[in-house]
């Protein structure tokens, strides 16, 4: 509607100018008049000037409107000039309405930003953002309290707390998670995210001190371990103590004093032999249990190197060749891509794979199809995953929750320490060991390297 009125106004003015000039020329040429043509030319000039003013006015308003949007200055208002006609009144009204919408939108965004800032400042998780130059954009109170770094303006200032922590953070990839112990009272879990804002790339870090949770979990773990130790030790000590009392009774009842020594009845002697054998066996079992516990608590720090996964698989299967042959189990391998490498301690990871493949092979002894799948897949920023899959009887849900607990086992023979050690090795690699199982369908153990 505004455009139509504006076009009509311009057209009317152009028509007036052309008509005045045409009439002036006609009067001058045909009637030989001078004054009338001169007045008509003056009218045409006035109409031209008025049209220029008309067009410039709306252009100036449009330019002012666009500048207001460009510089986000929504305080401007456009007044209505009664001399410019109804079309200008509608243009001014439209500009004012648009400005009001922009003003309201900016106010809502400012309220949302303020709300987000309040939330960020009040959450217990530390938040820090920094750009490609390392300059800090956002840092909340939790991060300031946790890191205790005065005048924290650049991410390099983090080196004052721990140079190693700074190195780890600068090397962390978006989406990755980092665990780092700064001191006995601060154990940080750090997560990284990459965002783009204002034409710049920003890294957003979240910090959380899990020291209290770790201490609580550690206490609970020690309590559970104490229960296990007490249970196993009591299972061995109680029968030994009972047998010792029985042997003492046998000696009292079936032995006789002679001049050259003691005489024991044949039945009593056999009972003593059997009792001593039992004590020896129980003592040996207790020693094996203690050795298993020692192995679990003394895993060395991994010596990491870049290892070709294909070669790692070949080495493991070469070591297990005879065992797999005797169990009549076939192992299929798959590595994607074929030149996939993983940063790990090859000896420790080989030990995990041997344990998992052995468990899978043993679970297939009641199956006609005795096949184990050993695969590795590169997942880009998500890391590398190595899986051991079998289609044996599987693991029931009740046992699935406990198979990584030290000394818990579903086998008739076994210490219940293999999977616990395997998970601890993966934790030392800053990875994880997980399991999924569907009874009578399949079981998949996954080694996840970040």
Query: Are 311 and 443 part of one and the same domain?
Result: yes
pLDDT at 377: 93
Please give the tally of structural domains in the chain. 4
Contact 437, 443 (CB under 8 A): yes
Query: Are 309 and 440 part of one and the same domain?
Result: yes
The last residue of one of the domains, among 111, 138, 156, is 111
Any idea what the CATH number is for the domain that residue 134 is in?
3.30.450.20
Going by the DSSP 8-state scheme, the letter that residue 415 receives in this structure is -
Residue 355 lies in a domain: yes
Any idea what the CATH number is for the domain that residue 322 is in?
3.30.565.10
- The answer to whether the bond into 337 is cis (omega within 30° of 0) is yes
Query: Are 385 and 341 part of one and the same domain?
Result: yes
Residue 218 lies in a domain: no
Instruction: Write down the residue that tokens 């721990």 correspond to.
Output: 162
pLDDT at 335: 92
Query: Are 410 and 378 part of one and the same domain?
Result: yes
Sign of CA dihedral 50, 56, 59, 63: negative
Query: Are 407 and 442 part of one and the same domain?
Result: yes
Residue 118 lies in a domain: no
Residue 423 lies in a domain: yes
Sign of CA dihedral 156, 158, 161, 166: negative
Q: Which two tokens stand for residue 286?
A: 């207790």
Q: Is 123 helix (H, G, I), strand (E, B) or coil?
A: coil
Query: Are 445 and 320 part of one and the same domain?
Result: yes
* Helix H or strand E encompassing 209: strand 200-209
Domain that holds residue 333: 305-449
pLDDT at 53: 74
Residue 219 lies in a domain: no
Query: Are 174 and 149 part of one and the same domain?
Result: yes
The last residue of one of the domains, among 273, 297, 321, is 297
Q: Is 208 helix (H, G, I), strand (E, B) or coil?
A: strand
pLDDT at 232: 60
**Interatomic CA distance for residues 413 and 229, integer angstroms:** 18
**Interatomic CA distance for residues 189 and 294, integer angstroms:** 29
**Euclidean distance between the first and the last CA atom of the chain, given in angstroms as a whole number:** 63
**Interatomic CA distance for residues 235 and 286, integer angstroms:** 9
User: Measured in whole angstroms, how far is the alpha carbon of residue 375 from the centre of its chain?
Assistant: 23
Residue 434 lies in a domain: yes
Query: Are 65 and 178 part of one and the same domain?
Result: no
Query: Are 317 and 379 part of one and the same domain?
Result: yes
Phi, psi (degrees; rounded to nearest 5) at 3: -65, -40
Residue 402 lies in a domain: yes
- Written as one string, the DSSP assignment of 346-412 is HHHHHHHHHHHHHHHHHHTTT-S--EEEEEEEE-GGG-EEEEEEE-SS---HHHHTTTTSTT--SSS
Contact 349, 425 (CB under 8 A): yes
Query: Are 342 and 256 part of one and the same domain?
Result: no
Query: Are 430 and 382 part of one and the same domain?
Result: yes
Sign of CA dihedral 393, 399, 404, 409: negative
The last residue of one of the domains, among 297, 327, 354, is 297
Query: Are 339 and 375 part of one and the same domain?
Result: yes
Residue 56 lies in a domain: yes
The tens-digit pLDDT sequence of the chain (450 residues) is 444 556 676 777 788 888 888 888 887 788 777 777 788 788 878 878 777 776 777 677 677 767 766 666 666 666 655 455 555 566 667 767 777 777 777 777 777 777 777 777 777 788 888 888 889 888 888 888 888 887 888 988 888 888 888 888 888 888 888 888 887 777 888 888 888 877 788 888 888 887 777 667 666 666 666 666 666 666 667 666 777 777 777 767 666 666 666 666 667 777 777 777 777 776 776 676 666 556 656 677 888 999 999 999 988 888 888 888 888 889 999 999 999 999 999 888 988 898 899 888 888 887 878 899 999 999 887 889 999 999 888 888 877 767 777 666 666 555 566 788 888 889 888 889 899 988 888 899 999 998
pLDDT at 2: 47
What is the chain's Cα-based Rg? 43
């Amino acid at each position: 509607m505004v455009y139509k009125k504006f076009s009509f106004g311009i057209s009317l003015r152009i028509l007036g100018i052309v008509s005045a000039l045409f009439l002036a020329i006609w009067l001058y040429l045909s009637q030989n008049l001078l004054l009338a043509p001169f007045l008509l030319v003056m009218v045409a000039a006035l109409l031209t000037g008025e049209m220029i003013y008309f067009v410039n006015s709306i252009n100036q308003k449009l330019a002012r409107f666009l500048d207001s949007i460009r510089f986000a200055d929504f305080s401007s208002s456009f007044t209505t000039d009664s001399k410019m006609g109804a079309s200008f009144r509608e243009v001014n009204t439209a500009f004012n309405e648009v400005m009001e919408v922009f003003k309201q939108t900016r106010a809502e965004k400012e309220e949302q930003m303020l709300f987000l800032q309040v939330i960020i400042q009040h959450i217990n998780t530390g938040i820090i953002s920094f750009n490609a130059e390392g300059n800090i954009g956002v840092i909340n109170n939790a991060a300031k309290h946790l890191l205790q770094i005065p005048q924290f303006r650049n991410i390099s200032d983090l080196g004052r707390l721990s140079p190693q922590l700074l190195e780890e953070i600068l090397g962390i990839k978006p989406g990755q998670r980092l665990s780092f112990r700064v001191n006995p009272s601060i154990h940080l879990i750090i997560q990284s995210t990459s965002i783009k804002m204002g034409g710049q790339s920003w890294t957003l870090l979240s910090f959380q001190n899990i020291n209290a949770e770790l201490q609580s979990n550690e206490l609970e773990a020690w309590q559970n371990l104490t229960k296990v130790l007490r249970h196993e030790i009591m299972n061995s000590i109680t029968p030994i103590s009972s047998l010792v009392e029985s042997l003492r009774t046998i000696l009292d009842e079936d032995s006789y004093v002679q001049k050259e020594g003691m005489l024991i009845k044949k039945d009593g002697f056999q009972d003593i032999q059997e009792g001593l054998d039992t004590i020896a066996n129980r003592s040996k079992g207790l020693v094996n249990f203690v050795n298993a516990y020692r192995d679990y608590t003394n895993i060395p720090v991994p010596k990491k190197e870049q290892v070709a996964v294909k070669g790692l698989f070949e080495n493991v299967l070469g070591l297990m060749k005879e065992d797999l042959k005797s169990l009549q189990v076939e192992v299929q391998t798959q590595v994607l891509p074929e030149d996939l490498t993983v940063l790990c301690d090859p000896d420790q990871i080989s030990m995990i794979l041997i344990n998992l493949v052995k468990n899978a092979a043993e679970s297939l002894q009641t199956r006609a199809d005795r096949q184990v799948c050993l695969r590795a897949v590169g997942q880009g920023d998500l890391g590398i995953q190595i899986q051991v899959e079998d289609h044996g009887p599987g693991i029931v849900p009740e046992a699935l929750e406990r198979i990584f607990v030290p000394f818990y086992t579903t086998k008739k023979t076994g210490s219940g320490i293999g999977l616990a050690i395997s998970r601890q090795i993966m934790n030392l690699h800053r990875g994880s060991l997980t399991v999924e199982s569907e009874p009578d369908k399949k079981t998949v153990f996954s080694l996840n390297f970040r």
